[in-house]
Amino acid sequence: MASHIVGYPRMGPKRELKFALESFWDGKTTAEDLQKVSTDLRASIWKQMADAGIKYIPSNTFSHYDQVLDTTAMLGAVPDRYSWTGGEITLSTYFSMARGNATVPAMEMTKWFDTNYHFIVPELGPDTKFAYSSHKAINEYKEAKALGVDTVPVLVGPVSYLLLSKPAKGVEKSFSPLSLLSSILPVYKEVIAELKAAGASWIQFDEPTLVKDLESHQLAAFCAAYTELESALSGLNVLVETYFADVPAESYKTLTSLSCVTAYGFDLVRGTKTLDLVKSGFPAGKYLFAGVVDGRNIWADDLAASLGTLQSLEAIVGKDKLVVSTSCSLMHTAVDLVNETKLDDEIKSWLAFAAQKVVEVNALAKALAGQKDEAYFAANAAALSSRRSSPRVTNEEVQKAASAVKTSDHRRATTVSARLDAQQKKLNLPILPTTTIGSFPQTVELRRVRREYKAKKISEEEYTKAIKEEISKVVKIQEELDIDVLVHGEPERNDMVEYFGEQLSGFAFTANGWVQSYGSRCVKPPIIYGDVSRPKPMTVYWSQVAQSMTARPMKGMLTGPVTILNWSFVRNDQPRFETCYQIALAIKKEVEDLEAGGIQVIQIDEAALREGLPLRKSEHEFYLDWAVHSFRITNCGVQDTTQIHTHMCYSNFNDIIHSIINMDADVITIENSRSDEKLLSVFREGVVYGAGIGPGVYDIHSPRIPSKEEIADRVNKMLAVLDTNILWVNPDCGLKTRKYAEVKPALTNMVEAAKQIRAELAKAK
């Protein structure tokens, strides 16, 4: 009876690790305190899996920040700027790499495949020296063993590690980190030798890059790496784990021909095509770790369907060679449903968080072995059937409207240049208009007001008065700074998705459904369980209140449909695009109500549009088509004089610039300050862009206050490739995480820089 878990959430059921980390970073607790919390968390996770009957329990999937950074530490690949002198890597060096310190910046962080988790990108060059410098994998293996749990140590595989790396600063951009393969393998051999000596019988290498479109030299690196490790691995069972998509046929062929590999792990939830590959040929005598339980969502598994899949695989690989597993690490889902006291029983019966998924995996393994728990399977079937037939899930009217959108293109009637002219006549803005992205600092006092109102400790009247005062303060600050297009500062909002989800039907919210985003930061995604509609206006009241306080244009602020989709746990009983169209129609009503309420500038944020991009190029076009279409649906009905803005967060836009143009927004603001050059190179290469554009002129993720000169220099660089009449001047993201002591001087310098350049341009004329 064989069951396996790819990985498990690290934060703890009540975010214990988050609080321990932040307390340590603030200097309130010691390293020993942090290690104690970590040790207790690991022990409880291993015990939980052992008690549930899991046979292959992972170790070394816990982390104080990120598993790729742990690998960088293991290899001793510390960039020079951290002045590390060798020896075992300390917490101080480790956290400097992750977060920067007083004198040097952090390493770059980027998204882990197409999830909402972020990893720390290794910075490598031809001169990088590698040495075994963090014994975390062996220490955690021994720690579990001392507790009586024999685990499968998990390492980020050597080829994926290099494919996820980037050339360090100062290294030729054309440098290929993959060329360092023979330099990192000696460290892997040392780690393997220690694990073997400590009694490990299995080892898991995560090689998720195998699901991407790889070139032949990249595939050849897998052969080279595992051939080179063969003698070190002899006597061990080796599992190579893949996840997040199906494995392309060529990669499948390469992977299944590696002679030192004993077992292959596949994501059979997002990688259904891999099933066909297995059915058309699987190497004799090897193990198949079948990822049938979804590690990326919160829905209860369809146990009967999974059992059917497993039985068909059993016929191919053999009874003793099939292991039931999760589709990927469970770190991408919430921790434990037990802590959800607010969800009603019906919705709760449809869900399974990480702790419940462990039980599902084991129940499937038992059923395969002929010990099916009939009561458990029957309860699961009943819950699925209640979800299928629940009137809360289906709204015929919404279904009809969403299927009708496919018949139109939803474009505004006139071209963007004609619209910008009409808008300028009405708004009368200077050249290089200044604005901010939306949120202003969320003070302790403001959070207290929202919390007390939610807990019914203050009346609606008191709440409304407090929020109005806050908006008035934010409006006054912007007028004093002489900003051209104002925002109300979003004091009434907790989160840009949750705020809307709470006012739309078809959404449910958890109390503790936290998922790690990066480091100690967690997000609590809403659950979209049913058809989405908007019962009543959501933002119109506050936008009108704010507009009544100023003669300057006040932006209405909305979150776009694709971002709401990509930052939620989405229903799995219909295609994602259907749900996205439903959200788009709900936002469309809101846009039209804002316009009718006198709001002339409306921003619809699509921070996460690029995040949803599939891992395979062949699937990009379909996704971008429906994602961009969803955005256009929201604002196709407004007048030419209404200016539609959108905002996008840090991304490589270069490959999707044509889709961005196709969104047909009047103005787009882009978080760009960490990747200035990348974005501007698109326009340098001759992409013609006629709409308004505001690449962020300073980084709000850092407390640093940029000087007027620095901002002016940035704007001038942009003017070298963009027309004066389309450029906007703005920070690169919302300001809610910053303090007023940082925001006021930074915005002062931003406005001064814009005025200085306006004066220079007028003089030049």
Q: Which residues are annotated as a binding site for L-methionine?
A: 437-439, 490, 605
Are 34 and 43 a contacting pair, CB within 8 Å? no
Pairing of strands 287-293, 322-326: parallel
Would you call 265 helix, strand, or coil by DSSP?
strand
Would you call 516 helix, strand, or coil by DSSP?
strand
Would you call 706 helix, strand, or coil by DSSP?
coil
Find the helix or strand (DSSP H, E) in which 427 lies. Answer: helix 416-427
Tokens of residue 46, six digits = 């291993």
Are 750 and 731 a contacting pair, CB within 8 Å? yes
Would you call 324 helix, strand, or coil by DSSP?
strand
DSSP state of 334: -
How far, CA to CA in Å, does 732 sit from each of 132, 285, 436, 478, 617? 39, 55, 8, 17, 28
Tokens of residue 628, six digits = 């961009």
Are 155 and 7 a contacting pair, CB within 8 Å? no
Tokens of residue 681, six digits = 């190179």
How far, CA to CA in Å, does 152 sit from each of 46, 155, 693? 11, 10, 51
CA 174, CA 166: separation in Å to the nearest integer? 10
Cβ contacts of residue 93 below 8 Å, gap of 6+? 78, 82, 84
Give the angle subtended at the CA of 510 by the CAs of 243 and 505, to the nearest 5°: 100
Place of tokens 């980390």: 21
Pairing of strands 152-156, 58-59: parallel
**682 closest CA partner among 718, 711, 631, 644:** 718
Neighbours of 737 (CB within 10 A): 13
**105 closest CA partner among 637, 682, 674:** 674
Q: Which of 135, 410, 620, 701 is catalytic?
A: 701
Pairing of strands 263-267, 287-293: parallel
Annotation: binding site for 5-methyltetrahydropteroyltri-L-glutamate: 18, 116, 521-522, 567
Q: Is the dihedral of CA 265, 269, 271, 273 positive or negative?
A: positive
Amino acid symbol at 632: R
CA 96, CA 106: separation in Å to the nearest integer? 6
Rounded to 5 degrees, φ, ψ at 83 are 45, 45
**Known catalytic residue at 332:** no
- The string over 120-158, giving b where at least 16 C-beta atoms fall within 10 Å of a residue's C-beta and e elsewhere, is bbbbbbeebebebbbbbbbebbbbbbeeebbbbbbbbbb
CA 496, CA 214: separation in Å to the nearest integer? 36
Are 405 and 584 a contacting pair, CB within 8 Å? yes
Are 9 and 333 a contacting pair, CB within 8 Å? yes
Residue 739's Cβ-count burial label (10 Å; 0-12, 13-18, 19+) is: exposed
Are 276 and 249 a contacting pair, CB within 8 Å? no
Are 209 and 163 a contacting pair, CB within 8 Å? yes
CA 299, CA 337: separation in Å to the nearest integer? 11
Q: What is the phi-psi region of residue 644: left when phi exceeds 0, alpha when psi lies from -120 to 50, beta otherwise?
A: beta
Annotation: binding site: 18, 116, 437-439, 490, 521-522, 567, 605, 647, 649, 658, 671, 733
Neighbours of 349 (CB within 10 A): 18
Amino acid symbol at 69: L
Tokens of residue 457, six digits = 């400790």
CA R_g for the chain: 27
Name the residues annotated as catalytic.
701
